[in-house]
Copies of this chain bind each other. A is one copy, B any other.
Amino acid sequence: MSQPMNHQWRLKNRPVGMIDETDFTWHQEAVRSPENGEILIRSVYLSLDPTNRIWITDMPQYMEPVQVGDVMRGMAIGVVEASENENYAAGDIVSGMWGWQEYATVNGNQVTKIPSGLPVPLDAWISVLGATGMTAYFGLLDIGQPKEGETVIVSAAAGAVGSIVGQIAKLKGCRAVGLAGSEEKCNWLTDDLGFDAAVNYKTDDLHGAIKAACPNGIDINFENVGGKILDTILTQINMRARIVLCGLIANYNSDEPVPGPYHFAQLLMQRARLEGFIILDYIPQFPKAIAEMATWLAEGKIKYRVDKVQGLKEAPTAVNYLFTGRNIGKLVVQVSDLPS
């Protein structure tokens, strides 16, 4: 049989400000057959994440930046089409970092097999049971150390991570407050996900709105955004508050140095702890967390939503939705059909 063609998005130049399709090259090449321990994967879902924007800058970061000319990096899920690796067979579902391409021919040791035993849809594995769900789980529980009765406020709460953070906070007996950018998102948080309150951060009086939503102050801030939102939160933290620094998307598209929060000194006054974390460090602990999260899913205690953009061609456009606030829940590209 003749091999299909593979399409890729390759980085053409480092974007200035928001990503533009012209920052990438749409590259076509023949799919390469696997050899010596390799497998051929057909991508099904490609994860779009705020951190994609970091990877294509040359700022100091937690992994090597993507180099100009390389296939854009990204987490994906796909189906094994052909295998020259004894650990994989055609039809297996795998996840890995093969990036923005329709097919990938990679060594089997570069991917992880998705367990087949759990009764969850495939899109759970790129969202609530994937890196973003794990980010919510370990960030809140390990860094945030929530205690019953505390108030947890999460920014970008209608996003892939934030929406899970608030629900886990509720499961731990906390008051969960979400910040999001539209009434539709706020309603989703309170009506569907069980957040105690949601604040539209586009309100005129952000300080007053947060105060009303957090009458006992803020014990934990799960921070995805930074900028003005973090600054306002810092004025309302309680003694020994914890700031789980997960992301700073307010900064990622800036080409100017961005000042840190003006109320930085509140971290001193309130003896607060602010701690950055990167989910890659927790990979060895994923299996136990996935098992617990899957139980919560099965019991209906955690809900998730996946926002699917159709076709790899859309990836450079769609990744900006993370910064403009267009998506609700986890943003992915559906690269090809689900395996039957």
Chain A residues proximal to chain B, CB less than 8 Å: 59-62, 226, 235, 245-248, 251, 257-278, 281
Contact = CB atoms under 8 A, between A and B. Distances in A.
A33 to B, nearest CB: 39
A276 B281 contact: no
A277 B262 CA distance: 19
A277 B239 CA distance: 10
A113 B172 CA distance: 45
A34 to B, nearest CB: 35
A46 to B, nearest CB: 24
Contacts of A276: 267-273
B261 A264 contact: yes
Contacts of A273: 273-276
B271 A260 contact: no
Nearest to A62: B269
Given A62-B270, A248-B264, A268-B278, 16 more contacts: A62-B269, A245-B268, A248-B265, A257-B262, A258-B262, A258-B265, A259-B259, A259-B264, A261-B264, A267-B276, A268-B277, A269-B276, A271-B277, A271-B278, A272-B275, A274-B274
B269 A61 contact: yes
B264 A262 contact: no
Contact of A274 (B246, B257, B275): B275
Given A273-B275, A278-B271, A60 B266 contact: yes
Given A258-B262, A259-B260, A260-B262, A248 B275 contact: no
Contacts of A272: 275-276
Contact of A264 (B235, B260, B271, B278): B260
Contacts of A264: 226, 248, 258-261, 264
14 contacts: A60-B266, A62-B269, A247-B268, A248-B264, A258-B262, A259-B260, A260-B261, A261-B264, A268-B278, A269-B278, A271-B277, A273-B274, A273-B275, A273-B276
B260 A248 contact: no
Contacts of A269: 60-62, 276, 278
Contacts of A245: 267-268
A211 to B, nearest CB: 13
A220 to B, nearest CB: 14
